[in-house]
Homo-oligomer: A and B are copies of this chain.
Amino acid sequence: MDTATAPQRRVPRPRADAVRNRERIVTAAREMFVEFGPDVPLDEIARRAGVGNATVYRHFADRDALVRQVVLSVTDRVAAHAERGIAAADTGESTAFEALRTFVHAAADERIGALCPMLSAAFDPHHPDLTEGRERLEESIEGLMERARRAGELRADIAVGDLMVALSQLGRPLPGTACPDMDRFIHRHLQLFLDGLMAPARSELPGAAATLEALRQH
């Protein structure tokens, strides 16, 4: 048994400035990924965060570790939106589908789509650091969809993966574009997609519903 699993680890409390630096790095990284795409140099992220480049490596072993942290941070924020939607549906504050619509637009505003470009070929989406967050996100979205499905507002032939993928794809910026008013288009297209999700189904879908298992297989 090593220290990592020991019940009482000696964790010297992190210094306040170290914590602040870590947060600033993640925030800067998220902003710059959104703004400049996945290839932004780490040195630039460090500069935006106001720290030296080596400080980034003190907090994150390598580029992927930083990316994971950013993914996790966005995942958490989006999951919170989904959970809020569930609450709204359960309290009757809005219909389940309305809650779903609200959630989708909110997730887009969190730049969930901007995360995708970060995921370089080398990125491992199944990394342990991410599972907890992803499960929380999936469960909450699933809960939201299930309520809409039960209410007969959501077509029955789609699964949570369908929504997640489309949300990511439609929500990400057009490449080669720093186009800030792309937002308008994003919300239009999400709205159209949501219309396509409504029951009754207007067409037969090819393939099988994108469950989470299906997404994980690749």
Contact = CB atoms under 8 A, between A and B. Distances in A.
Given A193-B193, A195-B195, A174 B179 contact: no
A208 interface: yes
Given A176-B120, A218-B177, A50 B166 contact: no
A174 B166 CA distance: 10
B121 A178 contact: yes
A192 B191 contact: no
Interface residues of A, number: 59
Interface in A67-125: 101, 116-123, 125
A57 interface: no
Given A188-B162, A189-B166, A4 B51 contact: yes
Given A5-B50, A121-B37, A170-B169, A210 B185 contact: yes
Copies in the complex: 4
A184 B202 contact: no
Nearest to A50: B4
Kindly name the residue among A50, A187, A207 whose own CB sees the greatest number of chain B CB atoms within 10 A.
A207
Contact of A116 (B168, B175, B182, B206): B175
A179 B119 CA distance: 13
A8 interface: no
Kindly name the residue among A51, A176, A178, A194 whose own CB sees the greatest number of chain B CB atoms within 10 A.
A176
Interface of A: 2, 4-5, 17, 36-39, 50-51, 101, 116-123, 125, 158, 161-162, 165-166, 168-170, 172, 174-179, 181-182, 184-185, 187-189, 191-198, 201-203, 205-208, 210, 218
